[in-house]
């Protein structure tokens, strides 16, 4: 690295600092509101970010907001690997694994198929289906980061995050009532909640709000869904390469982005048991902070009038995916396929 290259770093830092700081301040405000009012922090970050949209229109914050929306997002996704271990997956046996793999594949397949029928690109169906099937806003942001650049990508990501966060919040109220109506035992109830609610925090809240056994089962199944993020990101890479989308100067997009490889490495490292719990928790907290900060930056880059032109079809698409996922998991439990171990 030359002295000239090194000398560029302070200038780059000064260019990025205002936008990064603005995004972090919005993320801090969203976290405070979420802790005091109980709504999803991602939703607060989006709404507050959109209220600060003028910062991305003109002034010194533009470069930092762009960088935060792209690079900080990828760091946060990579650190999600510290949430799970291979031992947690193995402890559940193969029945829940099969259920999760099938539900993720079918939900994403449904999303892609419906998106194409509605006249949208396959990538939009992959984005919405992945968000519903895997882990809500975090999955939407991870898949968005893995997809090729497109003029409407960030708008689609923002819509998906808003929709999936709203549905996840509603699920905390509705899904426990469905569990009771179906007469599920505590473990089955946990499997249903963990297999259907979109965001991790909402799964934990709904599960442990019913019982410890339900919370444990819900958390394990939800972590298994999070683990599906890696192969789905790889699939997004294959799809991008096969369509030669986002090629720049003849270069094809990578099969698996660097942040996805980092995710896999952290899962492997965390599975060894050598990482102190304090370090793991710090990594998980940092991941959450990065994701909230990134979604705040994405909100700053989006104008409300752009969202007003979305129309009813994307909303119908995501609602349909959510209903399908809940029906599939309920049917699986009814036929006895999801017994643990």
The CA distances from residue 183 to 166, 189, 190, 239, in Å, are 26, 9, 12, 41
Across-strand partners of 251?
Answer: 248
Per the structure, the complete domain to which residue 170 belongs is given by 17-334
Weakest mean pLDDT among 69-78, 105-114, 285-294: 69-78
Length of the chain: 341
- Which residue did the predictor score with more confidence, 9 or 302? 302
Q: What is the pLDDT of residue 306?
A: 58
Nearest to 114 by CA among 294, 262, 340, 318: 318
pLDDT at 13 > cutoff 90: no
Query: Can you tell me the distance from the alpha carbon of 86 to that of 338, in angstroms, rounded to the nearest whole number?
Result: 19
Q: What is the pLDDT of residues 220-265, one digit of tens each?
A: 788 788 888 888 888 887 777 666 544 444 445 455 567 777 887 8
**Any alpha helices (H) in the chain, and if so which ranges?**
3-37, 41-51, 54-57, 62-67, 73-79, 86-91, 94-117, 122-130, 137-146, 153-182, 186-196, 200-210, 212-227, 229-243, 258-271, 277-300, 304-307, 312-334
- Which residue did the predictor score with more confidence, 255 or 282? 282
Per the rule left: phi > 0, alpha: psi between -120 and 50, beta: everything else, 273 is left
Domain assignment present for residue 3? The answer is no
Phi, psi (5° rounding) for residue 257? -60, 160
pLDDT band at 331, cuts 50/70/90?
A: very high
Weakest mean pLDDT among 15-19, 274-278, 292-296, 309-313: 309-313
Q: What is the pLDDT of residue 247?
A: 43
Query: How many domains in the chain?
Result: 1
Per-residue pLDDT, averaged over 42-64, amounts to 85
Domain assignment present for residue 312? The answer is yes
Domain assignment present for residue 109? The answer is yes
Percent of the chain residues past pLDDT 70, beyond the cut: 82
Phi, psi (5° rounding) for residue 49? -60, -45
Helix axes 153-182, 312-334, angle to 10 degrees: 40
Domain assignment present for residue 262? The answer is yes
pLDDT band at 12, cuts 50/70/90?
A: low
Domain assignment present for residue 10? The answer is no
Weakest mean pLDDT among 39-43, 81-85, 102-106, 305-309: 305-309
Inter-residue contact 105 to 232 (CB < 8 Å): no
Across-strand partners of 248?
Answer: 251
Range 24-48 burial, b when 16+ CB lie within 10 A, else e = bebbbbbbebbeeeeebbbbbbbbb
DSSP state of 339: -
Domain assignment present for residue 125? The answer is yes
Report the SS3 class of residue 251: strand
Domain assignment present for residue 142? The answer is yes
**Summary mean pLDDT of the chain:** 80
Query: Can you tell me the distance from the alpha carbon of 152 to that of 321, in angstroms, rounded to the nearest whole number?
Result: 21
Q: What is the pLDDT of residues 160-215, one digit of tens each?
A: 888 887 787 678 778 988 999 988 888 889 999 999 998 776 787 778 778 877 88
Inter-residue contact 318 to 167 (CB < 8 Å): yes
Handedness of CA 289, 294, 295, 301 (dihedral sign): positive
């Amino acid at each position: 690295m030359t002295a000239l290259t090194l000398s560029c770093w302070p200038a780059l830092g000064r260019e990025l600092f205002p936008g990064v700081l603005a995004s972090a301040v919005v993320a801090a405000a969203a976290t405070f509101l979420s802790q005091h009012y109980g709504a999803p922090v991602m939703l607060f970050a989006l709404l507050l970010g959109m209220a600060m949209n003028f910062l991305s229109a003109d002034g010194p914050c533009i470069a930092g907001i762009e960088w935060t929306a792209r690079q900080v997002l990828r760091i946060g996704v990579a650190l999600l690997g510290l949430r799970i271990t291979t031992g947690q997956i193995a402890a559940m046996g193969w029945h829940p694994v099969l259920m999760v793999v099938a539900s993720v594949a079918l939900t994403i397949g449904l999303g892609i198929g419906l998106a194409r029928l509605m006249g949208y690109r396959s990538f939009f169906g992959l984005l919405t289906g992945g968000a519903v099937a895997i882990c809500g806003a975090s999955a939407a942001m991870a898949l968005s980061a893995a997809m090729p650049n497109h003029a409407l990508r960030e708008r689609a990501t923002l819509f998906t995050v808003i929709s999936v966060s709203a549905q996840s919040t509603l699920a905390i109220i509705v899904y426990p009532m469905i569990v009771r109506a179906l007469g599920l035992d505590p473990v089955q109830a946990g499997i249903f909640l963990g297999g259907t609610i979109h965001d991790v925090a909402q799964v934990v809240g709904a599960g442990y709000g019913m019982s410890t056994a339900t919370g444990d089962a819900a958390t394990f199944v939800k972590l298994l869904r999070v683990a599906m993020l890696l192969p789905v990101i790889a699939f997004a890479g294959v799809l991008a390469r096969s369509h030669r989308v986002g090629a720049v100067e003849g270069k094809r997009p990578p099969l698996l982005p660097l942040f996805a490889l980092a995710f896999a490495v952290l899962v492997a490292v965390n599975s060894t048991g050598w990482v102190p719990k304090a370090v793991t928790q710090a990594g998980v907290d940092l991941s959450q902070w990065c994701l909230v900060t990134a979604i705040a930056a994405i909100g700053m880059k989006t104008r409300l009038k752009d969202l007003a032109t979305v129309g009813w079809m994307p909303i119908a698409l995501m609602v349909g995916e959510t209903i399908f996922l809940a029906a599939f998991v309920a049917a699986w439990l009814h036929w006895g396929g999801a017994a643990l171990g």
